[in-house]
């Protein structure tokens, strides 16, 4: 029931209390005795729910609290089942079809629960009073997590391991980051001038990656170059007055007598006044919350004396999202190497280096020891986190010391095996040597803002080590488990966990969890009996299992004890079952009497399912049609995930027995149709039929699923959707991409609740019905890979549209799209212009289209369809910040029109369409066009433009589009040799006049020969294309390229920037003909020139 989520703290107690409240409502008519019992139980469980919620916030639970929680959660599960069973026995009312009535003469089914509930409630209240007296705090204060941990906040933060700082210098990876950061903050040693503006650097990363160590190394090396300096460390719950007072002392201000009574504002004012005329360096270490940064940053004036501020944080980002030339960003999180299947710890620019770059491999010999295996599983388990590696070395040292005391000599490899076994079986919480890492992870875990977020994070520990976690699959499982009742809220939770470094994004829609974080969370799950993994079960396991994960840690190794335990397990009490391996061997489906969530995880990477080959299927081959029938006997199941396998060729009619089913996921099977009984699943909300590449049609009964909200038909062979589909009035998500659908009926407009429509890669779909543009609740529309070439003006009716995915072939959107306030990618200047009524009236006669932002740094574009005499005034006043401009003009005047264009600071692509041939070629001088990389000249005659020395310094692509020209040949050069970064020259012609061969006209042939000769003489490698001919490549002239590179860098770059530019220039001969890749190369060069380091800007 919405509003009452399941949590690791309270189990299903929240939903149970909500269901009891619903039984007392108008929807149910109970007998007097039953109603009395429900009221009594509800009142008692409400207090138990509140008490458990607060008790779980404690750092550790004593034995009494653990036993009390266990009994309360067991009681909750029994109550949950009793309520559901009772509702099934009720009869519908004859007078009101929406009301259910308790059967006459039926005794109260909850009478036996009164005693259990009363006993648990009394003991919870007694424990509560004892805790309250012990802490001497009011009850209300214990509900606040911050107040509950206030005692902890007064304690000093956990001491950092002494060897962390000592051995950090041995981590070679820190050298690169340190040098980059120092170069950004103070420049090279040879630099004599100091950049006066205030600069900031942000170091971000998960626990244990060395943020504080890096900041300390930089602070110690450059601190003496500043007049005042301070290194300020924060805690999750800092006393800001003490922090500010410490800053005050460190910068050199002696606190006055009675300073303790001063307010935060007074101290901030004092620090700011003192630093106003000084060059200062401040390190703010371990920022946990944005509010703390907002307070402490007020102390530091933005003077122009070369001051510097460096922050470290686990949360990305703390200070803000915008990075400019005066802000530097370092992301120290390990990166996943898809090629080698391991975590790497290195700066971004070295991510794809071919040599061995693991931290352990780069340790000094005296730290690693002879015989140390750098590729050992325990090393891989460290996930590239330096603190984890150092803790591993500490644990190894302890084991070797113990063995030496016993007179036993043990090999290093054997010690690694022992540590690996202990970490896997007992967790890092119970492995000596890992205390610093555990304390660091515990701090981040405790700082999570609420129990729901902690619960969602704990659930992620069910996934195997380094398992790719698909975003949508994880969100669906969180909702199925009841941790949240909204997919949008679940996505916000996932974003927050990613922001805090617990989940690391490795793909647009996929995440991975660092192995050490997973191990830590698995230990927490064991403590709370939240999730039980088969590899952790022993024959003496006494707790009732609520959620069971049959993992592949020990089953694949044939561990006899684990198998025997699974066979002896009481499967009837399991409410949620996740199986990664051994579905046929170890899961007795007939015994799962109370299971609500059944998740048969597919073993293959979700992102590779598009390449699925039935002959190479490594998923659940063991699942067949008989297993499908067995699963149809699980009458309590609400959510069924992962019914898949090549031996499943049909969905049995018995599926209709699952009357409580809300989620049905049937993927990658050999089914060709669905049974008509599918229409009997009236509670079904999500139906996922993706990757069934033999499924060609849906039954008409699909229209009976009136509660269906999500329908996924991707990668099927459907050619059309049955008309009954449009009867699904509550449908919110329709995913029909990668099918063979060629048309959408007009009835799609009847899906008034539709929020997501995915039609990607349906090549035969060329037209969209007009009724589709009336879907007022549509938020996401995905049309990339379709045959749709134009978006109509009616798109302005989709007022809630947020995401629109299109192919580049759809050049632009109509102006009406700019008025969609929530649409992502609309250029900011266009959005602001659309809000000005006077300007909108002025543009009423124009034919305008907009181009959305497509990548980081893109500014979007504008297409002016109506021809103008020159560049309109409103381009300069309102659209000067655009990234691309496509415009039709009659003339281009030097003093007015050309001036407007060359002063556009972010113009990257310019298309000039001349309606009238200029009398004289337009000369482009060395002024302006600072970022222009792509120029298209569309005119009847190509030679309407010439380039002078230094023109368009970043232009790499030049395209001439021409029509019929029968004038005399012109052999004067255009001056493309002056375009010093040019890489691509192309001619395009009107095929009506020339056919495929542009050189069939003598005058055009002469002009192309002139340009070809200039391209051959150009110092750069030039790709030259003419219609009707193969692509020509003119190799670079190395000596000239070096000369041009030198002239460019001498005037535009400093000493370090010279080196970066020369490296890129010298490697240009190995470039590619793809214009977009060249665009990325130029973007990197620009970032290097701005900050002297690529790694600081690309996380």
Q: Are residues 355 and 427 in the same domain?
A: yes
497-526 confidence digits (pLDDT tens): 999 999 998 887 889 999 999 999 999 998
Q: Are residues 115 and 218 in the same domain?
A: no
Domain that holds residue 357: 336-436
Q: Are residues 671 and 809 in the same domain?
A: yes
> Does a structural domain hold residue 475?
no
Locate 737 and state its tokens: 């991409």
3-state secondary structure (DSSP) of residue 884: strand
Q: Are residues 111 and 196 in the same domain?
A: no
446-505 confidence digits (pLDDT tens): 999 888 999 999 999 999 888 899 999 999 999 999 999 999 999 999 999 999 999 998
- How far, in Å, CA of 1068 to CA of 1097, rounded? 22
> Does a structural domain hold residue 168?
no
Q: Are residues 785 and 930 in the same domain?
A: no
873-889 confidence digits (pLDDT tens): 999 999 999 999 999 99
User: What is the number of structural domains in the chain?
Assistant: 5
DSSP code, position 199: E
3-state secondary structure (DSSP) of residue 541: coil
Strand order in the sheet with 199-204: 228-233, 280-287, 308-313, 199-204, 327-331
> Does a structural domain hold residue 417?
yes
> Does a structural domain hold residue 407?
yes
Confidence of residue 996 (pLDDT cuts 50, 70, 90): low
Q: Are residues 667 and 722 in the same domain?
A: yes
- How far, in Å, CA of 1041 to CA of 598, rounded? 64
330-381 confidence digits (pLDDT tens): 889 888 888 777 888 766 544 444 333 455 555 555 556 678 888 899 999 9
What share of the chain has pLDDT > 70, as a percent? 79
Which one of 382, 410, 436 terminates a domain?
A: 436
- How far, in Å, CA of 486 to CA of 965, rounded? 63
Confidence of residue 784 (pLDDT cuts 50, 70, 90): very high
Neighbours of 845 (CB within 10 A): 7
**Which residues sit opposite 336 in a β-bridge?**
343
Q: Half-sphere exposure of 61 toward its Cβ, with a 13 Å CA cutoff?
A: 21
Q: Are residues 349 and 203 in the same domain?
A: no
Which one of 333, 365, 382 terminates a domain?
A: 333
> Does a structural domain hold residue 873?
no
Structure confidence at residue 723 (pLDDT): 86
> Does a structural domain hold residue 831?
no
Q: How far apart are the first and last CA of the chain?
A: 40
Q: Are residues 354 and 322 in the same domain?
A: no
Least confident among 463-467, 637-641, 956-960, 1093-1097? 1093-1097
∠71-76-77 over CA atoms, to 5°? Answer: 105
Structure confidence at residue 98 (pLDDT): 79
> Does a structural domain hold residue 1079?
yes
Which one of 311, 333, 355 terminates a domain?
A: 333
Q: Are residues 207 and 77 in the same domain?
A: no
Identify the burial level of 627 via C-beta atoms within 10 angstroms of its C-beta, where 0-12 means exposed, 13-18 middle and 19 or more buried. Answer: buried
Q: Are residues 126 and 182 in the same domain?
A: no
CATH number of the domain that residue 266 is part of: 3.40.50.300
**Which residues sit opposite 216 in a β-bridge?**
none
Select from 562, 518, 563 the least CA-distant residue to 537.
562
Locate 807 and state its tokens: 């192919």
Q: Are residues 311 and 357 in the same domain?
A: no
Q: Are residues 661 and 684 in the same domain?
A: yes
> Does a structural domain hold residue 184?
yes
């Amino acid at each position: 029931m919405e509003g009452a989520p399941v949590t690791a703290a309270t189990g299903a107690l929240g939903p149970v209390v909500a269901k009891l409240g619903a039984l007392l409502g108008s929807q149910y008519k109970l007998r007097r005795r039953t109603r009395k019992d429900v009221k009594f139980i509800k009142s008692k469980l409400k207090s138990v729910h509140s008490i458990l919620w607060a008790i779980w916030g404690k750092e550790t639970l004593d034995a009494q609290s653990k036993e009390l929680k266990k009994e309360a959660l067991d009681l909750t599960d029994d109550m949950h089942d009793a309520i559901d069973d009772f509702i099934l026995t009720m009869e519908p009312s004859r007078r009101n079809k929406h009301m259910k009535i308790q059967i006459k003469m039926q005794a109260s089914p909850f009478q036996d629960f009164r005693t259990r509930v009363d006993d648990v409630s009394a003991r919870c209240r007694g424990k509560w009073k004892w805790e309250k007296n012990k802490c001497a705090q009011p009850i209300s204060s214990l509900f606040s997590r911050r107040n509950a941990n206030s005692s902890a906040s007064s304690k000093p933060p956990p001491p950092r391991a002494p060897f962390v700082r000592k051995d950090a210098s041995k981590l070679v990876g820190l050298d690169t980051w340190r040098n980059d950061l120092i170069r950004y903050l103070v420049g090279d040693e040879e630099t004599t001038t100091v950049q006066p503006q205030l600069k900031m650097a942000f170091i971000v990363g998960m626990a244990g990656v060395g943020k504080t160590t890096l900041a300390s190394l930089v602070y110690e090396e450059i601190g003496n170059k500043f007049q005042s300096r301070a290194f300020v460390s924060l805690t999750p719950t800092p006393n800001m007055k003490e922090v500010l007072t410490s800053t005050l002392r460190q910068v050199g201000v002696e606190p006055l007598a009675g300073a303790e009574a001063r307010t935060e504002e007074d101290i901030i004012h004092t620090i700011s006044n003192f630093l106003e005329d000084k060059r200062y360096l401040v390190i703010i270490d371990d920022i946990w919350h944005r509010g703390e940064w907002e307070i402490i940053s007020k102390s530091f004036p933005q003077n122009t004396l070369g001051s510097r501020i460096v922050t470290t944080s686990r949360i990305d980002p703390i200070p803000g999202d915008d990075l400019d030339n005066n802000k530097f960003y370092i992301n120290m999180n390990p990166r996943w190497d898809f090629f080698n299947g391991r975590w790497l710890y290195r700066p971004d620019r070295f991510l794809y280096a071919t040599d061995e770059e693991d931290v352990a491999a780069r340790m000094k010999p005296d730290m690693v020891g002879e015989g140390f295996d750098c590729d050992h599983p325990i090393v891989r388990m460290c996930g590239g986190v330096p603190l984890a590696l150092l803790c591993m070395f500490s644990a190894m040292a302890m084991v070797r010391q113990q063995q030496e005391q016993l007179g036993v000599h043990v090999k290093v490899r054997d010690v690694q095996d022992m540590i690996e076994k202990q970490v896997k079986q007992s967790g890092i919480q119970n492995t000596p040597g890992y205390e610093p890492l555990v304390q660091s992870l515990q701090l981040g875990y405790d700082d999570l803002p609420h129990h729901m977020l902690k619960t969602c994070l704990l659930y992620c520990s069910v996934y195997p080590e380094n398992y790719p976690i698909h975003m949508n699959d994880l969100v669906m499982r969180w909702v199925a488990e009841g941790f949240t009742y909204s997919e949008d809220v679940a996505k916000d939770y996932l974003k927050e966990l990613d922001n805090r470094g617990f989940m690391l994004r490795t793909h647009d829609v996929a995440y991975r969890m660092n192995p050490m974080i997973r191990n830590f969370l698995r230990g927490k799950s064991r403590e709370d009996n939240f999730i039980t993994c088969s590899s952790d079960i022993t024959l003496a396991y006494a707790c009732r299992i609520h959620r069971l994960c049959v993992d592949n840690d020990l089953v694949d190794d044939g561990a006899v004890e684990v198998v025997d335990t699974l066979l002896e397990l009481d499967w009837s009490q399991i409410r949620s079952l996740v199986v990664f391996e051994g579905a046929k061997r170890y899961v007795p489906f007939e015994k799962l009497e109370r299971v609500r969530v059944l998740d048969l995880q597919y073993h293959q990477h979700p992102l590779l399912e598009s390449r699925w080959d039935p002959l190479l299927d490594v998923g659940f081959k063991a699942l067949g049609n008989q297993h499908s029938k067995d699963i149809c006997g699980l009458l309590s199941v609400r959510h069924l995930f992962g019914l898949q396998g090549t031996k499943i060729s049909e969905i049995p009619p018995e599926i209709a027995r699952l009357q409580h089913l809300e989620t049905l996921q049937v993927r990658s099977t050999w089914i060709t149709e669905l049974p008509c009984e599918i229409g009997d699943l009236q509670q079904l909300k999500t139906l996922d039929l993706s990757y069934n590449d033999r499924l060609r049609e849906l039954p008409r009964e699909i229209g009976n699923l009136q509660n269906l909200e999500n329908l996924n038909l991707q990668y099927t062979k459907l050619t059309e959707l049955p008309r009954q589909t449009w009867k699904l009035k509550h449908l919110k998500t329709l995913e029909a991409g990668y099918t063979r659908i060629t048309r959408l009926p007009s009835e799609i407009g009847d899906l008034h609740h539709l929020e997501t429509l995915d039609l990607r890669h349906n090549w035969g779909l060329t037209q969209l019905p007009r009724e589709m543009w009336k879907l007022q609740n549509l938020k996401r529309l995905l049309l990339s890979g379709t045959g749709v070439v134009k978006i109509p003006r009616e798109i302005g009716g989709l007022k809630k549209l947020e995401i629109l995915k299109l192919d580049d072939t759809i050049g632009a959107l109509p102006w009406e799209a700019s008025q969609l306030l929530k649409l992502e990618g609309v250029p900011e200047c266009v959005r602001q212009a659309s809000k000005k009524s006077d300007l909108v009236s002025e543009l009423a006669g124009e034919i305008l289209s907009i181009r959305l932002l497509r990548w980081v740094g893109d500014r979007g574009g504008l297409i002016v369809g109506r021809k103008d005499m020159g560049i309109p005034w409103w381009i300069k006043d309102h659209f000067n910040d655009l990234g691309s401009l496509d415009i039709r003009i009659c003339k281009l005047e030097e003093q007015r029109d050309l001036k407007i264009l060359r002063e556009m600071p972010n113009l990257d692509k310019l298309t000039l369409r001349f309606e009238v041939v200029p009398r004289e070629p337009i000369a482009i001088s060395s002024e302006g066009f600072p970022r222009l990389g792509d120029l298209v000249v569309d005119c009847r005659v190509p030679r309407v433009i010439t380039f002078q020395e230094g023109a368009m310094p970043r232009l790499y692509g030049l395209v001439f589009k021409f029509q019929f020209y029968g004038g005399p040949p012109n052999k004067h050069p255009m001056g493309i040799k002056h375009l010093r970064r040019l890489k691509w020259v192309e001619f395009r012609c009107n095929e009506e006049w020339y056919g495929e061969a542009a050189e069939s006209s003598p005058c055009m042939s002469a002009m192309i020969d002139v340009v070809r000769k200039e391209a051959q003489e150009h110092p750069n490698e030039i790709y030259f294309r003419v219609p009707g001919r193969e692509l020509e490549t003119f190799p670079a002239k190395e000596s000239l390229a070096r000369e041009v590179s030198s002239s460019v860098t001498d005037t535009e770059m400093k000493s370090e920037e010279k080196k970066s530019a020369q490296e890129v220039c010298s490697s240009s001969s190995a470039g590619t003909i793809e214009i977009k890749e060249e665009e990325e190369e130029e973007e990197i060069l620009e970032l290097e020139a701005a900050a002297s380091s690529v790694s600081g800007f690309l996380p």
